[in-house]
Amino acid sequence: MNQPKLEITRATRSDMPLVAHFIRSSAEWYKPFIAQKDLSEHEVGEKWIAKNYPLRDFFIGYNQHEPVGTISMQTVRGYTYLGYIYLDVAHVGKRFGHQLVEFAKLRSQGIGNKGMFLIAHPEASWSVKAYKKMGFKKIASKKEDVLAWNDGVLEPYYEEGFELYLKDF
């Protein structure tokens, strides 16, 4: 089966409501296990956009001109932090997430980063399974270990119960 190739472009500030839509589209999936204080990272709106757009590079993937998902990238201490990898729920399971991560990998390698990292909740089995297929390895489960990695780089991003995954190049 031929997989349609995504066209991936950098999101502009005016694209951010679409990025927020991708993130919100699966917020219900996380509610059973996400700490109440962290739901704001999944039920995002204008306040989240204003805070996060200047911090990260956001990209949108298009399948035949239809927007299907987003990924954010941020270089931190020689690694690329993938903070948001989300597909519209109608497009989950079509390998578009793999294409977004491969795009991030090529960009990261192109600027000389050592690898990519992300955090995922162990009960988000759909994402954990996908990340492992993409070559990410779980390197920390305990909060103190996640927060200590790479001189505490995840302190501002940590969500309760999330584990750290790394893909070295």
**3.40.50.720, 3.90.550.10, 3.90.110.10, 3.40.630.30: which CATH number matches 7-168?**
3.40.630.30
How far is Cα 33 from Cα 88, in angstroms, rounded to an integer?
A: 20
**pLDDT at position 1, please?**
55
132-150 average pLDDT score:
97
> What's the pLDDT tens digit per position in 32-71?
888 888 877 878 999 999 999 999 999 999 999 999 999 9
Q: For residues 31 and 82, which has the higher predicted lDDT (pLDDT)?
A: 82
**pLDDT at position 32, please?**
86
Strand segments, DSSP code E, in 77-151 are 79-81, 85-87, 115-120, 137-140
| pTM to 2 decimal places | 0.91
Residue 130 banded pLDDT, cuts 50, 70, 90: very high
Could you tell me the CA-to-CA distances from 1 to 6, 88, 94, 95, 134 in Å, in that order? 15, 22, 11, 12, 19
Identify the helix (H) or strand (E) that includes residue 143. helix 143-152
What are the domain boundaries of the chain? Answer: 7-168
Q: What percent of the chain has pLDDT over 90?
A: 80
**pLDDT at position 49, please?**
96
Give yes or no for residue 86 having a pLDDT over 60: yes
